[in-house]
A and B are shown apart, each in its own frame.
Chain A
Amino acid sequence: MEKTVNTPIIEYLLRLADDRLILGHRLSEWCGHAPILEEDIALANIALDCIGQANYLYGAAAQEEGKGRTADAIVYFREALEYKNLLLVEQPNGDFARTIVRQFLYDSFGVLLFDRLQHSTFHPLSGIAEKAVKELRYHFRHSSQWMLRLGDGTAESHMRSQKALDELWKFTDEMFLADPLEDELVKKGVGIASHSLMEEWTGTVHGIVAAATLTIPQKSAFIHTGGRSGRHTEHLGHLLSEMQIVARSFPDIQW
């Protein structure tokens, strides 16, 4: 099967969309299983926002592609190698602390990224970002408040959140890697240089981690990367098989 080569704009939109979709999918896995009812509802609502944003981003990518594809076609009929999300968002939920830490590490980045993307010269993207940043603000508020409660909570919650931070920290470098595709789109005013967000992200994260009485882990000796080129951890394959099974079993079905 011929591999599709995407234009830079489509590739960039897929990265953003895949980040939101995979994170949204992970959150949806908590539906019916969260530790308290309020969080079952909260995580499901956050998931809805993520998936809604992903839907718009895929729509913009499909429009740009001009082949009449839908978001469903793009989501359900791509292999792991064609997914361009960050490694962080595909990591399993684990316990509630791990989910919150993963969410916090992404939200603190996402809120800055989409705030800047409101100024993209590519107008479907600037419009989507204008909506997404408002939602991300509330996601960030939710995850940062939970960081404080869990870190500065009981000995158990502190231990679990520190463990999660220690294990997920190594995936944070990938969010800020410089990359030629991004550079090209930054020149056109379409994209944002994610490495330019690192300082602000670091300040925010360090501040909240300290307030939560947690410790920032040592910088990883090895930078975990590859998501943007389709080289994922083993977790994505399992996630996609669950997510895609119905559509792939009945490819022509109309909902």
Chain B
Amino acid sequence: MGLISSKRMATALAKSTPAEPRAAVSATEMGARQREISVSEFFTKNRHLLGFDNPRKALLTCVKEAVDNALDASEEAGILPEVVVTLEVIGANGEAPPPASQATRFRVTVTDNGPGIVRHQIPPIFAKLLYGSKFHRLRMSRGQQGIGISAAGMYAQLTTGKPVQIISRTGARAAAHYFEVQIDTKKNEPRIFESKKIDWEHPRGTQVTLEIEGRYQKGRASVDEFLEQVAIANPHVKLLYRTPEGETREYPRTITELPPQPREIKPHPYGIEFGILLRMLHDTRGHSLAGFLASDFSRVSPPVAQEICRTAKLSPDAKPRNIHGAAAEALYKAIQATRIMAPPSNCISPIGEKAILHGLYKQIKGEFYTAVTRPPAVYRGNPFIIEAGLAFGKTPDQAAAATVAEAPAVPLAEGEERDDDDELARVIRYANRVPLLYQQSACATFKAVLETAWKNYGIAQSRGALPAGPMVVFVHMASVWVPFTSESKEAIADYDEIRKEIKLALQECGRRLGVFLRRRERAKSEFRRRNIFDLYIEEVVEACARLKGGRLPKEKLKTQLQRIALKRTGGARTDEILGKNSGPEGLPHSIIVTAEGTEGEAPVLPPAAGSAGAAAASAVERDEGEAAKPAATARGKGAVRQLRPIRGGKAPAKGPAAAAKSPAKAKKVPPHPKRRGR
């Protein structure tokens, strides 16, 4: 923790600016000079790398960084997050603010109920690039590098000249601190404009306010979309969004359990690169090579360490510091050649099928929902978990409204067809619970969606296109290190292992969707069968009456024909075929919404609680206990874990695990002093 050493920072920057010499130990002076220039240079010249390409994206990035920080901090402190995002339009030079769609200046305020920040850490956190707690540990979190919020502050400074305003309070008994800070871009040090104690209505939490140049537009890749997607993947968050148009949107919390705390792990030997190995050899506190291997890596036991040394033809007692050049290279090769257990996966906390299901159900109106969490897998020594979800269809109300609204008004002319849904599916992508909104087509997720053979599941798909239909495809990758294609974290790199896992998850979702669609089709055709006869009887009777020159007791003929029709379609038996009395087809982790009601593990939504409400709620809590256990417990088979719908009132008592877990933890963990984005 604490400050990143200058050397490390240079290393980090070297990734994006190749001009910088890497780990130049000798040229200390030169290195220091270059660093001072680089902070502002790097940012002003390369702001697109950090997501500030254009005003619209910049607005989104600012919100994103602030929200990511708020959630990371709250979760780490064991607090159920409550976040308020406010966007306000600012008029230039005190003029009346223009309408939101025309505005170019915005004030972004993000308030959380997190642990707060201790006073002296506030300025560096918000006004010093590459300062943070998340960069040099292998632990799943939203932010990683310690650039994000400071970069947002710097963007504000660049475009409006206004400092970042922060209010933070670590508890009801502590005072709230108000700061106004900016970055001294030459020194990469905070400049404090204002620092005072103030009265704040919140007992605990942090509030960041940025005034920036931006553009507010709805639709794709907008702030609105981002927050909606945050709500989907984080159903434990209570989110309030005040739009620049003065509207207030509330995303309620549907899960009252925090996701399990991901553990911090040591790097897995397969995942490190040669340069990093060299650095680790240099920095280690271990006295022998074998000891270094066993203590600084995960999954390397003393016997394995011995084996590596044997393979590398190096003495296990050699001093790590003395290994470089050819010896280091031999060691690196030996590591790759040795069989080492896959890294532990308790460092990752998946969202969980329940939570995904709840998130989708809450935010997206549809008929069918399902979610799959894959067992952990490994790419380049980094453990990861893929989760996928699907929301499909229109709600019965919507569908009915659509048909009723258009149909009678415009009968079809020859050659016309009723619009079947030719819209394409929407893919929503997440990395460590953060929505990815840009560069969709470069993302492994998107490619996996394209490669999945949706036709097998009854969904139309043209060659090389997204599947068609009213559908939202959800994909989440959780990992200690998500491989992004660029610094601005917009797309997941296309590793075979990752793509394969995504496809497996999507295929399972697809299979369940297929089962649902077949059932719906069956129900529809039965319904149609009945309808058809009713409809046609009317026509036939009328035509017969005309043929008979009007001398026909129409009602009698109609009744007779209807009686035959009923007999032929099996009357009450049809209800059974319609599946009115069966559960959601034995599908695990799925919700089916029909005109009759909701089946499956649906959460209770505050405004309109369904009939199955109470029962479903207890089911939720019970299952959360289960899901809260470390993700590592054999999920392979667990993915098909059958969760029968609970329809009657017979919900078993809450598991003790669920009750005990989070509150206890929340008390133990002190307010976290440092929090960093990116």
A binds B: no
